[in-house]
């Protein structure tokens, strides 16, 4: 009788723990959703109509675009052509070939007429061996750093060593920028001298059409797996990151599209090569370092600049990516644990960091254990049907509400998926992703957390992601005319 009573008590406690957790995490996300909605409406009212008067555009600070590439033969040329069409007064493109084993290097040399030049390379950040720097007479904005393989962090550090301008923008080699995206993501640096980093929105490129490096048609993927990721990206960027930005508590700027003040990044040692989450790690270290130095700073997110990226279309590649992301999250949090609840931690250390630790790091463990436990107990008849249904409502129903809210927020603000058929499909995806996809994602993150906890750190520096580049059409190098650049020594104010 004693054991029976104790077991009932344990079951009741488990039910309440899982219930409270799922309700707490979804209510927190819902709160971030409302903060984001207010900020996006405010942003649309102030900035959407026009970025800057034409006469003031030339006063934008020069920017160096760093594009790390490893085995990106299929997409890197289209990405560079897209960047060349950026509507910005003064910029350069530094492609870093990180020991590619395919035709990435040859494709760049052929497409842009690159030749090796005796350029001085100042190694302010330590990297693997740099074999040479290449430049183009036809495309004076484009240079290539050819180096031994060292991973994405190492490649970006090599690019930072080579750039000429005070701001640098990191863009993935499988990404396409809209012409005005760079101007909009740099705007916070013009408006507020405290800004040290700025990030923009990343959207799913699968299903879109790119002609000669320019996005010509916005579409949705035909496959379910990338379609689920469309909603996932909307949820992560439009209210996940937008919600933290006004509090100066943004801990992640996507490695696919972010602008940083070069000297501040060099001051903290650049990107760390011993983590797979180099983008989050850098931002968290910036927070920690600047707060320790008692500096007044801002790290911001801008919802309008759009960077389009190809997402995985097969389960294996997606699983590898999500396991790597979770391990990167764990490494970033653990190595910067001193920020949490520190005297000078601010909102980043007292709110955002604990949130990431409890809901993002420990969350997959609790979610997977919760799902498995409740299903097993319900099948065994040890949990009342009413309690099980309430659990499903909290776990699945609230998640569905968040996904639909993210979709509605996108349509009410930016409206990139304007056709009724696209909106109907998005709604269907927002509902269906809660039945299988999100649970599968939790399992991958659970596995990534276990790998980190067990100390199994044999991670791949560049993850095995299959890409088909099916979005490319009519790539013609003659379509992108070289843009004259000022002399190397000139810098706009």
Q: Which residues of the chain have pLDDT under 50?
A: 1-4, 459-460, 462, 477-493
Task: Identify whether 434 is part of a domain.
Answer: no
Task: Identify whether 7 is part of a domain.
Answer: no
Q: Which of 300, 257, 71, 61 is nearest to 170 (CA)?
A: 257
Task: Identify whether 445 is part of a domain.
Answer: no
Helix (H) or strand (E) holding 425: helix 420-432
- Dihedrals phi, psi of 301, to nearest 5 degrees: -125, 135
Task: Identify whether 394 is part of a domain.
Answer: no
Which residues, at least 6 apart from 437, have a Cβ–Cβ distance to it below 8 Å?
Answer: 225, 228
Task: Identify whether 110 is part of a domain.
Answer: yes
Q: List the domain range (segments joined by +) for residue 112.
A: 23-360+466-479
Cα–chain-centroid distance for residue 237? 8
Question: Residue 271: what pLDDT?
Answer: 95
- Dihedrals phi, psi of 169, to nearest 5 degrees: -120, 125
DSSP secondary structure of 62-130: PEEEEEEESS-TTTHHHHHHHHHT---SSEEEEEEEES-SSSHHHHHHHHHTEEEE------SS--SPE
Task: Identify whether 118 is part of a domain.
Answer: yes
- Dihedrals phi, psi of 455, to nearest 5 degrees: 75, 20
Counting the structural domains of the chain, the total is: 1
Predicted confidence (pLDDT) per residue in 266-298, tens digit: 999 999 988 888 899 999 999 999 999 999 999
Any idea what the CATH number is for the domain that residue 154 is in? 3.90.550.10
Q: Please say whether the beta carbons of 155 and 96 come within 8 A.
A: yes
Q: Helix, strand, or coil here: 166?
A: coil
The C-alpha atoms of residue 80 and residue 144 are separated, in whole angstroms, by 11
- Dihedrals phi, psi of 314, to nearest 5 degrees: -120, 155
Q: Please say whether the beta carbons of 221 and 274 come within 8 A.
A: no
Helices marked H in 272-419: 278-292, 315-335, 346-347, 353-355, 363-379, 385-392, 398-413
Residue 424 class from Cβ within 10 Å (0-12 exposed, 13-18 middle, 19+ buried)?
exposed
Name the CA dihedral angle for 392, 321, 283, 120, rounded to a multiple of 10 degrees. -170
pTM of the model: 0.86
Task: Identify whether 280 is part of a domain.
Answer: yes
Q: Please say whether the beta carbons of 274 and 335 come within 8 A.
A: no
């Amino acid at each position: 009788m004693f054991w029976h009573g104790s077991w009932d008590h344990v079951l009741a406690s488990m039910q309440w723990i899982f219930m409270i957790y799922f309700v707490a995490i979804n209510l927190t996300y819902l709160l971030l959703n409302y903060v984001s909605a207010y900020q996006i409406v405010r942003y649309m009212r102030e900035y959407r109509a026009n970025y800057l008067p034409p006469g003031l555009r030339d006063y934008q600070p020069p920017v160096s675009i760093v594009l790390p590439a490893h085995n990106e033969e299929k997409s890197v040329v289209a990405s560079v052509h897209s960047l060349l069409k950026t509507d910005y007064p003064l910029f350069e493109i530094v492609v870093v070939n990180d020991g590619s084993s395919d035709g990435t290097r040859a494709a760049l040399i052929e497409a842009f007429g690159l030749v090796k030049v005796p350029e001085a390379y100042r190694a302010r950040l330590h990297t693997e061996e740099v074999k040479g720097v290449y430049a183009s007479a036809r495309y004076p904005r484009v240079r290539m750093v050819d180096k031994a393989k060292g991973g994405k962090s190492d490649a970006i550090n090599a690019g930072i060593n080579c750039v000429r301008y005070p701001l640098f923008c990191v863009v993935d080699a499988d990404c396409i920028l809209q012409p005005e995206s760079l101007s909009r993501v740099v705007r916070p640096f013009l408006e507020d001298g405290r800004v040290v980093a700025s990030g923009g929105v990343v959207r799913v490129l699968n299903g879109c059409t790119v002609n000669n490096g320019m996005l010509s048609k916005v579409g949705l993927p035909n496959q379910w797996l990338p379609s689920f990721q469309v909603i996932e990206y909307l949820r992560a960027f439009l209210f996940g990151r937008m919600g933290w930005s006004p509090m100066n508590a943004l801990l992640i700027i996507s490695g696919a599209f972010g602008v940083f003040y070069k000297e501040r990044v060099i001051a903290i040692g650049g990107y760390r090569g011993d983590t797979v989450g180099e983008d989050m790690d850098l931002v968290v270290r910036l927070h920690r370092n600047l707060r320790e130095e008692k500096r007044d700073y801002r790290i911001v997110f801008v919802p309008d600049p759009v960077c389009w990226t190809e997402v995985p279309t097969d389960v294996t590649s997606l699983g590898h990516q999500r396991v790597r992301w979770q391990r990167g999250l764990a490494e970033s949090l653990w190595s910067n644990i001193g920020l949490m609840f520190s005297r000078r931690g601010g909102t980043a250390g007292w709110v955002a960091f604990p949130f990431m630790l409890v809901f993002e790091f420990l969350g997959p463990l609790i979610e997977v254990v919760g799902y498995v436990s409740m299903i097993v107990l319900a099948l065994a008849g040890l949990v009342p049907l009413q309690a099980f249904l309430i659990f499903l409502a909290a776990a699945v129903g609230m998640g569905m509400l968040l996904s639909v809210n993210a979709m509605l927020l996108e349509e009410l603000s930016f409206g990139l998926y304007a056709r009724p058929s696209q909106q109907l499909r998005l709604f269907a995806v927002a509902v269906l992703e809660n039945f299988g996809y999100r649970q599968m994602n939790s399992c991958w993150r659970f596995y990534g957390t276990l790998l980190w906890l067990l100390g199994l750190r044999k991670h791949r520096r560049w993850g095995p992601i299959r890409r088909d580049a099916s979005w490319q059409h009519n790539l013609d190098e003659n379509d992108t005319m070289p843009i004259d650049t000022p002399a190397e020594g000139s810098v706009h104010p």
